[in-house]
Amino acid sequence: MDLTLSEPYRILQAEIRDFIRQHGDKSPKVGGGRKRPDQKTLDWQKRLVENGYAGRTIPKEYGGFGATPDVMAAAVIAGEFARANVYAGLTNQGISMLVPTLLELGTDEQKRQYVGPTIRGDIIWCQGYSEPNNGSDLANAQTKAELKDGHWIVNGQKIWTSSAHYADMMFLLCRTEPDKSKHDGLSYLLLSMKSPGLDPRPLKTMTGRNEFNEVFFTDVKVPESQIVLGRGKGWYVANVTLKHERLMIGDAGKMTARFEQLISLLQTSEIDGTKLIAMPEYRDRLLRLQGEVMAWKAHNLRLLTEAAQGVDSGVKRMIIKYGGTMLGFRLSSLAVDALGAAGLPYESLGEDAEDDDATTWNIDYMYDVGLMIGGGSTNIQKNIIGERGLDLPREPKAAGRA
Ligand SMILES: Cc1cc2nc3c(=O)[nH]c(=O)nc-3n(C[C@H](O)[C@H](O)[C@H](O)COP(=O)(O)OP(=O)(O)OC[C@H]3O[C@@H](n4cnc5c(N)ncnc54)[C@H](O)[C@@H]3O)c2cc1C
C-alpha cells in the first residue's frame, strides 16, 4: 500500500506547516475545553476559521470556509495539528452537535443567525435533554412547552446540563404535544440562557468543579420561530444531534493527540533513575494502546470516507461512542498510574487546574468516567449496537413503559 500523499495534499500539508510556523506561538494550550473559551482561544479559533482549518466545509454564507468535503484534507489537517501539538480548534456542544444538526434540519434564518457565531466561539450552547427521571429514557422528557400568543411557554426541569452556568443559548428537548405518543410529542427549541424565568444551578462533580447544572424553567418565553423542523419532530432532531454527540465523544483525532502526550509523559517520568518508557510494565501497556489508537484512527477514516460517499455506516458508526470512551479511559488510566502520587490528589483541584500539566491527566481520568455515561451510557450503547446494529432481539420493556 502506498501511503505517500499525492500532490494536492502535499501542497496542503506545506500550507499548514507554514501556517503553524507563522502563527503557532499564538495557539492556546492543547487540551482543556471545559471552561468558557478565553480571548486567546477565541482569537485562535477565528484565525482557524478564516484559514479553513475549522468550519472548513461549512458554506461561506453561514460563516464557514466553504470547502468541498474531503476526507484526506481533513485527515492531513488533523494530523499536522496533532504532530505540532498545536490547538486544532474548539469542540463543544454547539460546534460539534448543534451546528451539524442545523445545517441538516434548520431553516435558512436559523443557519444564518447561529452557525457563524457558534463556530467562531462567540455563542456557547448547552444541551437541555436529561431530566431527573428521564436520562436513558430520554423520549419520556416531561419539561413542557405550550404555545400562547406567538411564544412557547416552558415549564419544568433539566439536569446534568453541561456548561449551562456560562452558556449563551440552549437547545432544548421538551413536550409540546401531550396528547401524542411519547416519541411524537416532543419538540426541539432554541432559547437564550438570559430568558427571564430560567434558573441554572451549578452542580459540583467529584473534581470539586462546576461542570454541569440543574436548570429550572418557570414560564420561560421562547419565540414561536425558535423551533427546529416543526412541532412533534423533536425526537428526530434530538437523534440527529445525538449521532453527532457520539461521534464527537469518540473522536480519534483527540485520541491521537492524547497518545502523543502520553508518550512524552512516559519519556519524562522516572522511577529510581529509570525512565518509565524503558520499563516493560509501562512499555507493554503503551504499545497495546498504540495499536488500539491506530486501529481507532483507521476506523474513523473509514467512517469519514463512507460519510463523504453518502454511505450510512450503520453499526460501524454506532460503536464510536462506546469504543472511544473506553479507549480514552484506558489512555488516562495509564497516565494516572505513571504519575504515581501526583496522580492522586484531586480534592484540591481548582477551576484553573487544567492549565497545569500533571493535573490535566488527573481531570481527564475522572472526566472519562463521566463520558462513559454522558451522551447515552455504555449499557445503552450496547443495547443500541445489539438491537439496531446486530439485529439481536430487543430487550424486554418494563411493564407500563412504551
Ligand atoms: C459528564 C456528563 C455530561 C453530561 N452532559 C449532559 C448535558 O450536557 N445535557 C444533558 O441533557 N445531559 C447530560 N448528561 C446526562 C447524561 O446524558 C445522562 O446521565 C445519561 O443519559 C444517563 O441517564 P441517567 O443519569 O438518568 O441514568 P439512568 O438512566 O437512571 O441510568 C442508570 C443506570 O442504569 C442503566 N440503564 C438504564 N436504562 C437501561 C436499559 N434500558 N438497559 C440497560 N441499562 C440501563 C444505565 O446504563 C446506568 O448505568 C451528562 C452526563 C455526564 C456524566
Reported as a single tens digit per residue, the pLDDT across 213-267 is 999 999 999 999 999 999 999 999 999 998 888 777 667 777 888 898 899 999 9
Q: What is the mean pLDDT of residues 342-347?
A: 65
Q: Which residue has the higher pLDDT, 89 or 366?
A: 89
Tell which wins on pLDDT, 147 or 261.
147
pLDDT higher for 274 or 75? 274
Distance 127 CA to ligand 1 centre (A): 13
Whether residue 69 is predicted with pLDDT greater than 90 in this model: the reply is no
Q: Say how many Å lie between the CA of residue 377 and the centre of ligand 1.
A: 5
Q: Per-residue DSSP letters for 163-186?
A: TTTT-SEEEEEEE--TTS-TGGGE
> Is 374 a domain residue?
yes
Q: Is 294 found in the same domain as 209? A: no
Pairing of strands 270-271, 274-275: antiparallel
Segment 123-147 shows an average pLDDT of 96
Q: Which of the following is catalytic: 61, 245, 306, 351?
A: 245
Residue 2 is assigned to a structural domain of this protein: no
Residue 190 and residue 68 share a domain: no
Burial of residue 116, with CB atoms counted within 10 A of its CB: 0-12 exposed, 13-18 middle, 19 or more buried: buried
User: CA–CA separation, 260 vs 247, rounded Å?
Assistant: 21
- Cβ proximity of 195 and 120 under 8 Å: no
For residue 32, the model assigns a pLDDT of 63
How much is the pLDDT for 396?
79
Q: What is the pLDDT of residues 311-326, one digit of tens each?
A: 888 899 889 999 999 9
What is the distance in A from the centroid of ligand 1 to the CA of 236? 19
- Residue 402 clears pLDDT 50, i.e. is over it: no
Question: Of the segments 65-74, 81-90, 148-157, 290-299, which one has the largest average pLDDT value?
Answer: 148-157
Distance between CA 113 and CA 1 in Å, rounded? 46
Number of domains in the chain: 3
Ligand 1 center–CA 136 separation, angstroms: 5
Instruction: Please tell me whether residues 68 and 151 are part of one structural domain.
Output: no
Condensed to tens digits (0 to 9), the pLDDT of residues 182-206 reads 999 999 999 999 999 999 999 988 7
Residue 102 lies in a domain: no
Give the chain's mean pLDDT.
90
Nearest CA to ligand 1 atom 43: 379
Residues 41 and 135 in one domain: no
pLDDT band at 15 (very low <50, low <70, confident <90, very high): very high
pLDDT at residue 283 tops 90: yes
The residue contributing the CA closest to ligand 1 atom 52 is: 374
Nearest atom in ligand 1 to the alpha carbon of residue 383 is 42
Atom of ligand 1 nearest to the CA of 136: 29
Residue 72 is assigned to a structural domain of this protein: yes
As to burial, measured by CB atoms within 10 angstroms (0-12 exposed, 13-18 middle, 19+ buried), residue 33 is middle
What local confidence, expressed as pLDDT, does residue 275 receive? Answer: 95
Is residue 245 flagged as an active site residue? yes
188, with CB counted inside 10 A (0-12, 13-18, 19+), is: buried
Question: Are 86 and 143 in a shared domain?
Answer: no
* 377 and 264 within one domain: yes
DSSP string across 197-250:
TEEEEEEE-TTSSEEEEEEEEEEEEEEGGGBSS-TT-HHHHHHHHHHHHHHHHT
pLDDT at 33 over 70: no
Q: Domain for residue 304, yes or no?
A: yes
Is residue 211's pLDDT more than 70?
Answer: yes
Domain that holds residue 40: 7-90
Closest approach atom of ligand 1 to CA 378:
47
| Interatomic CA distance for residues 402 and 149, integer angstroms | 33
> Are 168 and 192 contacting, i.e. CB atoms less than 8 angstroms apart?
yes
| Lining residues, ligand 1, CB within 6 Å | 126-130, 135-136, 160-162, 212, 370, 373-377, 379-380, 383
Which of 380, 381, 385, 387 best tests ligand 1's pocket when mutated (most atoms within 8 Å of CB)? Answer: 380
Q: Which band of pLDDT confidence, cut at 50, 70 and 90, is reported for residue 399?
A: low
Per-residue pLDDT at 354: 55
CA of 132 to the centre of ligand 1 (A): 10
CATH code for the domain in which residue 208 is found: 2.40.110.10
Average pLDDT, integer, range 72-94:
89
Answer yes or no: do 371 and 273 share one domain: yes
Region at 83 (left for phi over 0; alpha for psi -120 to 50; beta for the rest): alpha
Give the residue-averaged pLDDT of 46-50. 97
End-to-end CA distance of the chain, in Å? 51
Q: Which residue did the predictor score with more confidence, 78 or 238?
A: 238
Cβ atoms 145, 186 nearer than 8 A? no
Full DSSP string of 42-90: HHHHHHHHHHTSSSTTS-GGGTS--PPP-HHHHHHHHHHHHHTT-----
Q: Is residue 101 part of a domain?
A: no
- 270 and 349 both lie in a single domain: yes
Supply 231's cell numbers. Answer: 412541532
Q: Which residue puts its alpha carbon closest to atom 24 of ligand 1?
A: 135
Tell whether 323 is covered by a domain.
Answer: yes
Question: Rounded to whole angstroms, how far apart are CA atoms 112 and 32?
Answer: 29
Residue 79: the pLDDT is 83
Q: Does the structure show a pLDDT above 50 at 276?
A: yes
Percent helix / strand / coil, the chain, rounded to 5: 50, 15, 35
CATH number for 258:
1.20.140.10
Residue 55 shares a structural domain with residue 184:
no
Measure 67 CA to ligand 1 centroid, in angstroms: 37
Pocket test for ligand 1, best of 96, 159, 373 (most atoms within 8 A of CB): 373
> Which atom of ligand 1 sits closest to the CA of residue 138?
21
Let me know whether 134 and 209 are in one domain. Answer: yes
The ligand 1 atom at the shortest distance from the C-alpha of residue 205 is 1
Residue 48 has pLDDT above 90, yes or no: yes
3-state secondary structure of 108: helix
Asked whether the predicted pLDDT for residue 157 surpasses 90, the reply is yes
Between 43 and 400, where is the model more confident? 43
Residue whose C-alpha is closest to residue 257's, from 377, 84, 101, 133? 84
Place of cell 501526583: 342
pLDDT at 346 over 50: yes
